[in-house]
Amino acid sequence: MSLLPLILEAGAGDRLDIISLILNASPVVKGVMGLLIGMSVLSWFVIGSKSIYLSNAANRSMRFQDMFWKTGRLDDIWRATEAAKPSPVSEVFRAGYTELAKLQRRRQEQSSDPNAASEDLLGDIESIQRALDRARTTAITEMESRVPLLGTTASAGPFIGLFGTVWGIMNSFRNIGAKGAANLATVAPGIAEALVATAIGLMAAIPAVMFYNYFSRRIRVITSEMETFSSDFLNIIRRRFF
């Protein structure tokens, strides 16, 4: 009995483990794998950091809103926000309160001219509204920072892996043509390394798309809370000061 088939089978088995496939892959496929691994590492960094950030933002916003509705005076709430860690909703409040304080000082300076003061009421409300909108936009931008990387990984990862797959299969067919034989030992390594590229692309894309949708929902919830608080705060300002 010839030992050549057994030797070829053992050699093929050694070449088909994951580490060997990655190390023996063509330069193009190695580049694809390296790019996908880098995207996966960056995605997991974003997932970890953004999970902590959004969790803290939601909890602090909830605590601030509880304190806001339990405290009657705006200046007391302002002092409380200076001592506490910032949250998206509290930053909206601080922006609105800062603008209100500026307008109050200006109204005191114009108190000798009641006609001018009455004409500025509508403009003052609009100024506070713009301050609230700016703070909300800044908070949303901060919450959404680096999240698009997850969307990019989720959408591009499978296609980049597919490119590595196509290139590996092309190499397999080239080896078949060069050797003039279509046996398992000739075809298997190229197809296997191609499938490894696809697998790495899917491993990068699947968690990225899951957490992208999760973060998008959490950001929408916090954004809705900021919008609701802005409307309530503006109504309070109208009743108390205008």
pLDDT digits (tens, 9 = 90+) for 169-205: 887 777 777 766 666 666 666 677 778 888 899 999 9
173 exposure class (CB count in 10 Å sphere: 0-12, 13-18, 19+):
middle
Query: Quick one: pLDDT at residue 110?
Result: 65
What's the average model confidence in pLDDT over 122-139? 87
**Token duo for residue 81:** 């926000």
Sign of torsion over alpha carbons 220, 226, 228, 230: negative
Q: DSSP code of 181?
A: -
Task: Determine contact, residues 150/209, Cβ cutoff 8 Å.
Answer: yes
What's the average model confidence in pLDDT over 4-18? 46
Sign of torsion over alpha carbons 22, 23, 27, 33: positive
Pinpoint the alpha helices (H) of 16-26: 18-23
Q: End-to-end CA distance of the chain: give it in Å, rounded.
A: 101
Tens of pLDDT, residue by residue over 140-168, are: 999 999 999 999 999 999 999 998 888 88
Assess whether pLDDT exceeds 50 at residue 135: yes
Show Cβ contacts of residue 87 under 8 Å, excluding neighbours closer than 6 positions.
56, 57, 60, 61, 63, 64
pTM over 0.85: no
Report for 31-35, 56-60, 69-73, 235-239: range of highest mean pLDDT: 56-60
What's the average model confidence in pLDDT over 39-54? 95
What's the average model confidence in pLDDT over 110-122? 56
The region of weakest confidence among 19-33, 97-111, 112-126 is: 112-126
Pinpoint the alpha helices (H) of the chain: 4-15, 18-23, 27-70, 74-83, 88-109, 114-119, 121-144, 147-179, 184-241
Assess whether pLDDT exceeds 80 at residue 115: no
Tens of pLDDT, residue by residue over 203-221, are: 999 999 999 999 999 999 9
